Chain A
């Protein structure tokens, strides 16, 4: 039993990491209508930027900000110079999926000669240990949970209580109407790429810290976990992605305790298949913040 209580603790950490990744991914899709399959690779690239800052002796929590800034700028540039021109040209959704997969492949292989095949670790990957009964967490893991809670509250506040959030919701609901109502949708979309890119960079660094080591090859795993959470919650719905992250994070860690840690991603995939068969629109399809303005 204590094994499962311990797994519950890891579940809390996992869901925090997944939530950071999935909310950014789903907002990109919801607001800019782009299924960005390069998301996992941008996460890895940002994690490496944080790694190089970390290696100079600066704390990982500061390096993480560097990773987030890199993620924001990189995502913004990818959209500006590749995705947006293809969309303006009238490339269909299917074409955009192929474009983003090609971009993903290019990012991974441009990085490869620079960072190499081998996995790397941050200096502070362990830290001291805190016990709550059977739950054993490192200080780093507790900080990750705290960070995720703060970021989720910030996203909530942004979407709910700011003019920018309102503009984002309007752009998601109906871009043409939003533009006619005087919302500068192009600038809103630029800001969305910066914000979601920062989330992506943050998530990459946190995922690298949580999994203790990471490499170029981690990108696919990062992507499908974020994808599973986003689709489970209803693609495009930030609150759905949060719910999806809670479910996927918990179920994968509990299954790892009951079965084998090798199959964490397979369990996430099993959940994804169930959702696609039973409820393709996702759990929160009708109630998410981005579904309708107001």
Chain B
């Protein structure tokens, strides 16, 4: 268990936690089945990459072609990744979230995810097509030697700070009146509309917030991995995150964290161990891992749809009667 391995594990965990919290805000709290979630993470990763990389005419980078190349210092690539994730949510949300029935929204987003991947794969001049981007600079790599243990701790620290900020923002959203409106809309859209909530505005807002957080998670990931390609954001990756949120507990941010640690991180580790054992043909274990994720989703939806840590029931203090009297008195 060397430092690099630990860093790997902790940073993946941080990225998955941010992604699961973002997906939980959209799916768990607001009921938007965002099957194109991974596209927003990818957008953040690509944005952070081209913001931090030199232009594609630079000496070591001429084997790839891409737009941008601004060589911005940290933390601008991370912020840029988050902003691009949020901006991308606007056009997608405007098309998908306004008129369509909720199950149509889900399939429209799934199709969006598949097509976005096809477009980026085929349109090579944009983001280097199927080969993807490589040699993405890491934060502070000019100041600290990235091969040292110290650098691993620095990156873990940066990730932890991002996780803490995301957790704080998500907790504020969930406990705010805005969060109550979101839950009201999820549970009974018509009733929420009847008391004056605008469901389209609510959905758009949380879609953009989720897109921003997804973009941030992508930026953190690409800063660590230093490579990003279409094969890393195929649509099944979104399903892993759904499995995590369903297992952890929809609507509960702590549940989302638990799910992130159990499903994406836990599975990654178990697979790593199993592959070392060399059982069966080479692609058997990864394939069975996906089957298991499917079984997890079906199993939890059947036996425990509320997840390991269910959403807390929120009861207001005091009975409604005195409340009414006070209103009359005032």
Chain A contact residues, CB within 8 Å of chain B = 35, 37, 82, 85-86, 89, 91, 93-99, 101-103, 105-106, 108-110, 112-113, 116-117, 220-221, 224, 227-228, 231, 235, 260, 262-263, 265-266, 269, 272-273, 276-277, 280
Contacts and interface: CB of A to CB of B under 8 A. Distances in A.
Contacts of B110: 37, 101
B86 to A, nearest CB: 21
A11 B310 CA distance: 51
Nearest to A96: B103
Nearest to A263: B122
B79 to A, nearest CB: 30
A214 to B, nearest CB: 16
Given A93-B101, A113-B287, 15 more contacts: A35-B107, A98-B106, A98-B246, A101-B35, A102-B293, A105-B293, A109-B294, A112-B283, A113-B288, A116-B283, A227-B107, A231-B107, A266-B119, A269-B115, A272-B111
Instruction: List 5 tightest A-B contacts by C-beta distance, closest first.
Output: A106-B294, A109-B290, A102-B297, A109-B287, A102-B294
B184 interface: no
A19 B297 CA distance: 32
Given A94-B31, A269-B115, A105 B236 contact: yes
B242 interface: yes
19 contacts: A89-B302, A93-B102, A94-B102, A96-B103, A98-B33, A98-B242, A98-B246, A98-B301, A101-B35, A103-B294, A106-B295, A109-B287, A109-B291, A113-B284, A220-B114, A228-B111, A235-B104, A263-B118, A265-B115
B233 interface: no
Contact of B95 (A82, A266, A273): A273
B102 A106 contact: no
A227 to B, nearest CB: 6
B169 interface: no
Contacts of B107: 35, 37, 97, 227, 231
Interface of B: 31, 33, 35, 95-96, 99-104, 106-108, 110-112, 114-115, 118-119, 122, 235-236, 239, 242-243, 246, 280-281, 283-284, 287-288, 290-291, 293-295, 297-298, 301-302, 305
Contacts of B236: 105
Main secondary structure of the interface of A (DSSP, over half): helix
A224 B107 CA distance: 9
A170 B272 CA distance: 53
Contacts of B33: 94, 97-98
A118 to B, nearest CB: 11
A155 to B, nearest CB: 23
B115 A224 contact: yes
B103 A94 contact: yes
A86 B283 contact: no
A266 B118 contact: yes
Contacts of B122: 260, 262-263
A112 to B, nearest CB: 4
Contacts of A113: 280-281, 283-284, 287-288
A276 B301 contact: no
Given A97-B103, A102-B239, A113-B284, A86 B302 contact: yes
